[in-house]
Structure formats: C-alpha cells, structure tokens
C-alpha cells in the first residue's frame, strides 16, 4: 500500500514504515500527527484518486526529530562591476516515520 501526500508545497510518495524529511511542521518530537492532504492511495488492488484530496484518507506519522539541512551557499556577482553578494541558507526540516495509511471504510474503521 502506498500513497501520495502533499505537505510544505511538495508532494511525496510514501509507504508504511518509511522515514521522510518534510518542511518544518509545528509539532513536538514523539507526537503522532495526521496528514489529511492525501492526493492518491493505492492499496494493492484498487486505486483512489482525489479531487484534489481523497475523502476519508489520512496518514498517521510520528515526529522523530527536527533539524536543519546542510548549508547552501548563494553567491551572486557581476563581472567588472565590483558587485559580490554571498549568502548562506539552511532549510529547517521535520523527520517523520510513517506509521499508518488510513483509508476510511477500508481498514475496518
């Protein structure tokens, strides 16, 4: 069983038991969160496509940690114009463990 979810303006293909880094979420470590923005679910024999989201579908995930990615250097310059600008950026992330792909009416609830 796999699903496609949307969070932080990006889309991710996920399966149960997978670790995933997404844009920083407002949740504490070891909390279980539910992501309702499920675009697509495939349970092996049947597919459910949302318009834009699948009704009754949700993803339960455990927040493992928060952190920041490696630094990305942004360097701009114009030749012969004495113009240089150097910036660094570290994107914040939340690491999730996908516990369950929930589909209303499919898994007995």
Instruction: Show me where the domains of the chain are located.
Output: 2-103
Is pLDDT above 50 for 94?
yes
Q: Of 100, 2, 99, 98, whose CA–CA distance to 48 is shortest?
A: 2
Residue 3 has pLDDT above 80, yes or no: yes
- Listed in sequence order, the residues at least 6 apart from 79 whose beta carbon sits closer than 8 Å to its beta carbon are none
Residue 104, pLDDT score: 82
pLDDT tens digits, one per residue of 11-70: 999 999 999 999 999 999 999 999 999 999 998 889 999 999 999 999 999 999 999 999
Q: Which single residue is written with the structure tokens 């369950």? A: 100
Q: What is the pLDDT of residue 109?
A: 47
pLDDT at 106: 66
């Amino acid at each position: 069983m796999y699903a496609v979810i949307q969070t932080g303006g990006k889309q991710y293909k996920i399966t149960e038991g997978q670790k995933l880094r997404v844009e920083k979420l407002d949740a504490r470590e070891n909390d279980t969160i539910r992501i309702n923005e499920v675009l697509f679910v495939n349970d092996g024999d049947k597919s459910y496509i949302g318009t834009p989201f699948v009704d009754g579908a949700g993803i339960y995930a455990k927040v493992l940690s928060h952190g920041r990615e490696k630094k990305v250097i942004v360097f701009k310059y114009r030749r012969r114009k004495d113009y240089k600008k150097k910036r660094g950026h570290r994107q914040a992330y939340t690491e999730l463990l996908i516990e369950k792909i929930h589909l209303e009416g499919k898994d007995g609830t």
